[in-house]
């Protein structure tokens, strides 16, 4: 394919938090090879006049579960689904995510190497994926989905605790944790996910529970580091977060009950926070009608009550924050609502930075993702307006994206602005 030359555009620079008018962008294959005011188009390039519209990097969601396709009580429904049905629904879910502007996603429990490679090979249309395979939990932890009256060992049902294809696995003791981490890495994990505290969606662990010993946490971190990767963790309370950070865990998911001393500890250790506030608002609105047990809704209400306080504390301390949503099942359509929720505390520039530059930092592709720059992957959104002024352009969930460019392919161009064929 010939080079593509975009011109007459305003470029949103998320690192600087500003719009740059009169810019040109040259794309070759799936990379940007020239960005600036003086970039020249090769004679045989396809030239596209964007009419002064805004071009910005594709969005990055650092906390998704693309294989979580059912909300009607998610923890119970997977045992009734065939793997083929789950796979088909997953591809549909991923394509919709891409149409909401997310050109990259980090899956933190469920997606495996096959999902990642299906996108890379062009077998399906979806965001570029970074996967952890199965998350790892202690017995009775957030990943152990047995109820308090369920005595048998963890089930081997598809997408249930344990099993070859499940999205969670249980490991106890340093040796078992080491084995579990090594096995997920063998299976192609980009990172490791640990459950280190109580959760909303699990039946037998109150939110205040802390999970895994420090020795187990450090063992997981050491094994990940040996394989040149890192550990992410599910944790709500300040105590759980502090233990994780001291053990060397790199990304802290949720952290709703963060306090100031723990925020300072995160900054000291270079940990990154991935809030997922939309998950609790969506669950509170729709959880009851979709079968969430009353006990789980009470836990969700407690987490929702602290609202955006964690953002305020993290911002004051200077904790780096990435963008995450953690929406399961049919609730994934509310993914972009996270932009509006964060705007209650953060500036538009800070939110966009979290969903681009910091996302790239989390997945360890700084300079290649989350920016429109020479050498970066050709992921971009084209809008009529400026999201630095109006965050609703991103919160609307896709209608305001005139063009979506993913890995060098046009995947949306409803108004025919580019004149190029649309993938899919």
Question: What pLDDT does residue 273 have?
Answer: 98
Asked if residue 418 belongs to a domain, the reply is no
* Residues contacting 113, CB < 8 A, separation 6+: 131, 133, 187, 188, 189
Percent helix / strand / coil, the chain, rounded to 5: 35, 25, 45
Q: Which of 335, 356, 380 is the last residue of a domain?
A: 335
- What average pLDDT is seen over the chain? 91
Q: Is residue 147's pLDDT more than 70?
A: no
* Judgement on whether residues 66 and 53 belong to the same structural domain of the protein: no
Question: What pLDDT does residue 162 have?
Answer: 35
Distance between CA atoms of residues 56 and 47, nearest Å:
18
Q: What is the CATH number of the domain that holds 394?
A: 2.30.40.10
* Judgement on whether residues 65 and 135 belong to the same structural domain of the protein: yes
Asked if residue 256 belongs to a domain, the reply is yes
* Judgement on whether residues 261 and 194 belong to the same structural domain of the protein: yes
How does residue 158 score in pLDDT terms, banded at 50, 70 and 90?
Answer: very low
Question: What pLDDT does residue 163 have?
Answer: 34
Distance between CA atoms of residues 247 and 243, nearest Å:
6
Query: What is the count of structural domains for the chain?
Result: 2
* Judgement on whether residues 326 and 408 belong to the same structural domain of the protein: no
Q: Domain range holding 384?
A: 4-58+371-413
Asked if residue 423 belongs to a domain, the reply is no
- Edge-to-edge order in the sheet of strand 251-257: 168-170, 135-137, 192-195, 231-237, 251-257, 272-274
* Judgement on whether residues 88 and 47 belong to the same structural domain of the protein: no
Q: What is the CATH number of the domain that holds 156?
A: 3.20.20.140
Asked if residue 401 belongs to a domain, the reply is yes
Residue 26, phi then psi, degrees to nearest 5: -110, 125
Region 221-229: mean pLDDT is 98
Asked if residue 192 belongs to a domain, the reply is yes
Region 200-205: mean pLDDT is 75
Region 309-328: mean pLDDT is 97
How does residue 152 score in pLDDT terms, banded at 50, 70 and 90?
Answer: low
* Judgement on whether residues 83 and 49 belong to the same structural domain of the protein: no
Region 394-409: mean pLDDT is 97
Question: What pLDDT does residue 150 have?
Answer: 65
Region 237-262: mean pLDDT is 97
Query: 45-49, 83-87, 111-115, 171-175: which range is least confident on average?
Result: 83-87
The per-residue pLDDT for range 329-341, each reduced to its tens digit, is: 888 999 999 999 9
Residue 237, phi then psi, degrees to nearest 5: -85, 160
* Judgement on whether residues 69 and 23 belong to the same structural domain of the protein: no
Lookup result for tokens 């050491």 = 222
* Judgement on whether residues 198 and 210 belong to the same structural domain of the protein: yes
Answer yes or no: are the C-beta atoms of 61 and 105 closer than 8 Å: yes
Cα 298 from chain centroid (whole Å): 25
Region 6-26: mean pLDDT is 97
Report the range out of 56-65, 143-152, 302-311 with the highest average pLDDT: 56-65
Asked if residue 222 belongs to a domain, the reply is yes
Question: What pLDDT does residue 156 have?
Answer: 38
Asked if residue 281 belongs to a domain, the reply is yes
How does residue 172 score in pLDDT terms, banded at 50, 70 and 90?
Answer: very high
* Judgement on whether residues 267 and 409 belong to the same structural domain of the protein: no
The model scores a pTM over 0.75: yes
H, E, C per residue of 131-200: CCCCEEECCCCCCCCCCCCCCCCCCCCCCCECCCCCCEEECCHHHHHHHHHHHHHHCCCCCEEEECECCC
């Amino acid at each position: 394919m010939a080079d593509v030359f975009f011109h007459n555009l305003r470029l949103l620079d998320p690192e600087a938090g500003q719009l740059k008018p009169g810019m040109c962008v040259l794309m070759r294959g799936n990379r940007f090879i020239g960005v600036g005011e003086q970039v020249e188009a090769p004679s045989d390039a396809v030239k596209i006049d964007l009419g002064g519209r805004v071009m910005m990097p594709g969005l990055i969601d650092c906390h998704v579960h693309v294989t979580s396709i059912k909300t009607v009580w998610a923890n119970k429904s997977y045992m009734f689904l065939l793997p083929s049905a789950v796979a088909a629904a997953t591809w549909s879910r991923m394509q919709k995510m891409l149409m909401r502007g997310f050109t990259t996603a980090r899956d933190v429990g469920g997606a495996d190497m096959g999902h990642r490679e299906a996108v890379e090979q062009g077998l399906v249309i979806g965001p570029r994926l970074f996967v952890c395979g199965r998350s790892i939990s202690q017995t009775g932890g957030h990943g152990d989905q047995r109820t308090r009256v369920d005595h048998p060992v963890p089930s081997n049902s598809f997408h249930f605790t344990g099993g070859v294809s499940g999205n969670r696995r249980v490991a106890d003791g340093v040796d078992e944790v080491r084995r579990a981490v090594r096995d997920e890495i063998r299976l192609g994990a980009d990172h490791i996910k640990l459950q280190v505290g109580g959760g909303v969606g699990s039946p037998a662990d109150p939110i205040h529970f802390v999970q895994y010993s420090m020795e187990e946490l450090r063992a997981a971190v050491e094994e990940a580091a040996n394989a040149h990767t890192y550990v992410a963790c599910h944790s709500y309370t300040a105590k759980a977060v502090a233990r994780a950070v001291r053990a060397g865990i790199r990304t802290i998911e949720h952290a709703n009950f963060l306090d100031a001393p723990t925020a300072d500890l995160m900054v000291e250790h270079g940990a990154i926070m991935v809030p997922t506030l939309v998950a609790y608002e969506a669950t509170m609105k729709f959880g009851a009608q979709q079968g969430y047990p009353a006990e789980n809704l009470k836990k969700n209400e407690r987490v929702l009550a602290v609202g955006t306080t964690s953002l305020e504390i993290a911002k004051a301390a200077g904790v780096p924050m990435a963008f995450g949503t953690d929406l399961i099942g049919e609730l994934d359509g509310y993914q972009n609502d996270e932009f509006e929720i964060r705007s209650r505390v953060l500036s538009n520039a800070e939110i966009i930075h979290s969903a681009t530059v910091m996302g790239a930092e989390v997945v360890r592709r700084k300079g290649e993702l989350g920016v429109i720059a020479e050498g970066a992957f050709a992921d971009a959104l084209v809008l009529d307006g400026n999201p630095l002024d109006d965050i609703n352009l991103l919160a609307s969930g896709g209608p305001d994206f005139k063009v979506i460019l993913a890995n060098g392919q046009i995947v949306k161009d409803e108004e025919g602005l580019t004149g190029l064929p649309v993938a899919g």
